Structure 1
Amino acid sequence: MPPPGEKVRRKTPHRTPQHGKPRKPEPAPLPPGLAVREAAVRLIAAVLIEHHSLDEVLAKELTSSPLEPRDRALARLIAATVLRRRGELEAVLTPFLEKPLPARQGNLWPILLAGTAQLLFLDTPPHAAVGLAVEQTRHDRRARNFDRLVNALLRRVTREGAAALEGVDAAKLNIPAWLYARWERAYGPETAHRIAQAVLAEAALDVTVKSEPELWAERLGGIVLPTGSVRLHSSGRIDALPGFEEGAWWVQDAAAALPARLLGDVAGRTVVDMCAAPGGKTAELAAAGAKVTALDLSAARLGRLTQNLARLKLEATLVEADAAAWNPGHTFDAVLLDAPCTATGTIRRHPDILHLKREGDLVALAELQSRMLDNAANLVAPAGLLVYCTCSLEPEEGAEQIARFLARNDGFERVAIEAGESGISPDWLTQAGELRTLPFHLQSDQPQLSGMDGFFAARLRRRG
């Protein structure tokens, strides 16, 4: 007992001067490579589970990411490989599961797909692919109880995955059945299979140059294609390549660069580029000396187009409007309509299309294209040209669209596109004289330099 009159002093726990609470221990640093894999899995989940486009989630996920550019590129590569090879990946993983995974699993399945893609297609060392996938699982609140399952499954993929893929038809396995069947009906079994094989390859980087393609091919470490585009052997950071800052070139697939050239010499002529953003065709027309009006429904996309034109030091009049209804009160010497479509010709660059598009989308898109085409026709001056194009492989969005248009518009006639024009190969032309590029066209002895987007284009003239 303390002496009478002496107060008892109770011991109190040590408190921090700022908050009065014990300091929490610093979190352990993430294992090297984990942040990249987590970014890749978020991209995969955003496409496969939340049904967002890959470009959309890339802009949100990686633009503000603390990852270094090289790590951002790796995250995108892992995600794109999963989206491109999902059929094969699931063909390997699913038989290894003794029972279905629970509905509430967090990102467990995207983690497994990403790990399997690294093991089978990206030459990632097994200890890294497996170990980081297990760590990812432990960091996922809903998936953390499955860390042992992930370890066991991916180790089995390491041992047996390659053998499980022997003899499978990868081209057919990775394409949705409805889409593959459409290609078989439109092009025949052999061509359909070649298309499916081609879209499994990562697309090369093509650029359109303002002038001197041979010079820029040398400076950029690429080759000049027969069409005049420059194809690079490797990409890296686009904004770090020679000529980017001074606006000497812009990124544009070789096939996408062809429709604007079908208008011929546009110097001094008035041309409207409908559905213009992000602006590759607008830039082509402006660089060729046309007086360009660039039309788009989206203010955000027009903002990006403005930035692109500023970098390229090119000018155009920008209009925010609906291409299906816009009426400026006068006509133009030429109109270019690159209509919204299913974009099935661009799967090499946008593998998320395999998982986001549905056959039912065609009906609404074909109707929209028809309305846009009719309005575009109203904007063409007598004897003027109208070029209609889509980056789709589907006949309803190409040749059939033009056939229907000509049937209801006797004031227009088809102007056949000729072999050799703008470097166009005879193999890229239909009997009607329309452009029909396929993903396996433009072959090279170097596979990484082969292929092009699937594009359709038709050239029409308004009768004088």
Structure 2
Amino acid sequence: MPPQRFAVASEVPGLAARRIAADILDGVLHRHRTLDDQLEGAGAHPALKSLSDRDRALMRRLVATILRRLGTLGHLLSRLLDRGVPTDAPRAQSALLIGAAQILWMDVPDHAAVDLSVRLVQADRRAARYAGLVNAVLRRCAREGQAIVEDVKSQTLDLPPWLASRWVAHYGEATAHAMAAALSHEPSLDLTVKSDAGQWAARLHGEVLPTGTVRTLLHGAVTMLPGFAEGQWWVQDAAAALPARLFGDIKGKNIADLCAAPGGKTAQLAFAGARVTAVDRSPARVARLRDNLARLSLEAETVIADAVEWQGPAEGFDGILVDAPCTSTGTIRRHPDVAWLRQETDIAPLAALQKRLLQKAVTLLKPGGTLVYCTCSLEPEEGEAAIAALLAVESGLRRAAIAPAEVAGLTEIITADGDLRTLPCHLPNADPRLAGMDGFYAARLVRRI
């Protein structure tokens, strides 16, 4: 990245954060790079380390807000621009999105939002000639934008059309709209705690959900919160914490966690007293899993291998968790880039991989053993259909229906077949920041003796 791109960043407060936000948006929307890749690890944006904690938080919130509201923003700009968004200058597009998002949904004075967006385009050679246009459009947005947004508030503009149509077809129009609305809010921080959830909720100014998860609002870095360094809890969405609990009492049992990294479910299994074998094909992700376990003072055997090809021990396992790779459409509230990076054509190859993982898991399972399959997808091909297809060909398996008592009495998250199906609009709360959960599917199967 050319060094002159950041030459004026230090001269105007807040400009560096917006410049980096524009780069990261461009990475998602035009280069199909995930947010995680651009924010962490070797591929992280090179200028991130120069930001203060406050500016880094601002940058993250800017990017996430735009991706959550991208359809609405596109509609708004189409109404305010006679000739559409300039296609020959990506920085002009990013500046318009950043300015409009701040004006409509963030606590930034309108004049500051406009001024900083204009400075963004002025600093870019290709976009500089659009500075007057950006200024005029954003000033108009400050006057007229809220009314335009209100007109389309009940629609599903912030979902890609292919995804919106699938959700309407599978869940019904009312539920699909409720799910889309839930995705528009910045989510809470959910924690799985080792003990005394009430005490940790009090210390972290949060609340204990019916399922035992501690939910709070994040202010600052997770690593600075009480209990992190001591390994008293780990970050895990309330829905993601449910599948590992479906094994029941696993103390002393041999459990395999396939596709295990980054390790939240491995930690649950190990903390419950199981002898856990955690398998993942990515060396980098396994390294992260080991680091997480070390912080939590938990132990598991880790294996770097493709779970489909892995042989496993001859004696098999008492339980197997298959947390399968999937389209991740259930995680859009936490990872809003997923909505714009995934395509409908991704579903079939992932469903084929899930089928192979399930078939492999069956061969590793002892008679009488329990198989828990889960995905963070809202697409039926990756959930209900996958288990129906497996049961149709594996007569040695039976479904073990999930009882309401196992999920804190939340009957709305149990399907007619006795499987788990959480939706982003579940767990309502008067404060939308404390509402919702990821979309998960899980089924429990037992191998006949």
Q: TM-score scaled by structure 1?
A: 0.92
What letter matches 1:68 in structure 2?
Answer: S
Determine which of 371, 381, 391 is the counterpart of 1:396. 381
- 2:85 and 2:398 map into 1 onto residues whose CA distance is 58
Contact preservation (8 Å) 1:335, 1:385? yes
Determine which of 93, 96, 103 is the counterpart of 2:77. 93
- 1:351 and 1:62 map into 2 onto residues whose CA distance is 22
1:344 aligns to 2:322 (yes or no): no
- Residues 317-374 of structure 1: per-residue CA shift (max 9 Å, x gap): 1101111221124201100001011111111001111111111111001000000010
- 1:147 and 1:27 map into 2 onto residues whose CA distance is 16
Determine which of 219, 227, 230 is the counterpart of 2:203. 219
Contact preservation (8 Å) 1:258, 1:422? yes
- Residue number in structure 2 paired with 1:416: 401
What letter matches 1:227 in structure 2?
Answer: T
Change (3 A) 1:162 1:27: closer
- Residues 365-389 of structure 1: per-residue CA shift (max 9 Å, x gap): 1000000010011111110000000
Contact preservation (8 Å) 1:205, 1:235? no
1:155 aligns to 2:136 (yes or no): no
Taking only aligned residues, the RMSD between alpha carbons, in angstroms, comes to: 1.5
- Residue number in structure 2 paired with 1:17: none
- 1:35 and 1:65 map into 2 onto residues whose CA distance is 11
Change (3 A) 1:79 1:28: closer
- 1:128 and 1:170 map into 2 onto residues whose CA distance is 29
- Residues 39-94 of structure 1: per-residue CA shift (max 9 Å, x gap): 11111111011111111111102785211112111101000111110111111112
Q: TM-score scaled by structure 2?
A: 0.95
Determine which of 9, 27, 39 is the counterpart of 1:46. 27
Contact preservation (8 Å) 1:225, 1:231? yes
What letter matches 2:370 in structure 1?
Answer: L
- Residue number in structure 2 paired with 1:57: 38
Contact preservation (8 Å) 1:253, 1:452? yes
What letter matches 1:443 in structure 2?
Answer: P
Aligned-pair CA distance for 1:287: 0.7
- Residue number in structure 2 paired with 1:125: 109
Determine which of 404, 423, 446 is the counterpart of 1:461. 446
Contact preservation (8 Å) 2:188, 2:215? yes
- Residue number in structure 2 paired with 1:144: 128
Alignment of 1:343-362 (within 5 A): 343-362=328-347
Aligned-pair CA distance for 1:29: 4.6
Determine which of 207, 210, 231 is the counterpart of 1:247. 231
- Residue number in structure 1 paired with 2:3: none
* Secondary structure in 2 matching 1:292: strand
Aligned-pair CA distance for 1:291: 0.4
1:31 aligns to 2:12 (yes or no): yes
What letter matches 1:166 in structure 2?
Answer: E
- Residues 103-138 of structure 1: per-residue CA shift (max 9 Å, x gap): 431411011111110011113101110100111111
Structure showing greater Rg: 1
- Residues 263-309 of structure 1: per-residue CA shift (max 9 Å, x gap): 11111110010111110000001111110011101001011111111
* Secondary structure in 1 matching 2:82: coil
- Residues 401-448 of structure 1: per-residue CA shift (max 9 Å, x gap): 000000011110000000021415111101110000111111123322
Determine which of 229, 244, 249 is the counterpart of 1:265. 249
- 1:63 and 1:144 map into 2 onto residues whose CA distance is 22
Change (3 A) 1:84 1:204: same
- Residue number in structure 2 paired with 1:11: none
What letter matches 2:413 in structure 1?
Answer: W
Alignment of 1:166-185 (within 5 A): 166-185=150-169
Aligned-pair CA distance for 1:149: 1.1
Change (3 A) 1:273 1:326: same
- 1:203 and 1:102 map into 2 onto residues whose CA distance is 32
Q: Which runs of 5+ in 2 are unaligned?
A: 1-6
- 2:293 and 2:228 map into 1 onto residues whose CA distance is 12
- 2:46 and 2:31 map into 1 onto residues whose CA distance is 17
* Secondary structure in 1 matching 2:207: strand
- 1:209 and 1:190 map into 2 onto residues whose CA distance is 34
- Residues 232-258 of structure 1: per-residue CA shift (max 9 Å, x gap): 133421011000001000000000000
Contact preservation (8 Å) 1:171, 1:200? no
Question: Which segment drifts farther, 144-153 or 94-103?
Answer: 94-103
* Secondary structure in 1 matching 2:433: helix
Structure with greater helix share of residues: 2
1:310 aligns to 2:317 (yes or no): no
* Secondary structure in 2 matching 1:166: helix
What letter matches 2:262 in structure 1?
Answer: P
Change (3 A) 1:361 1:27: closer
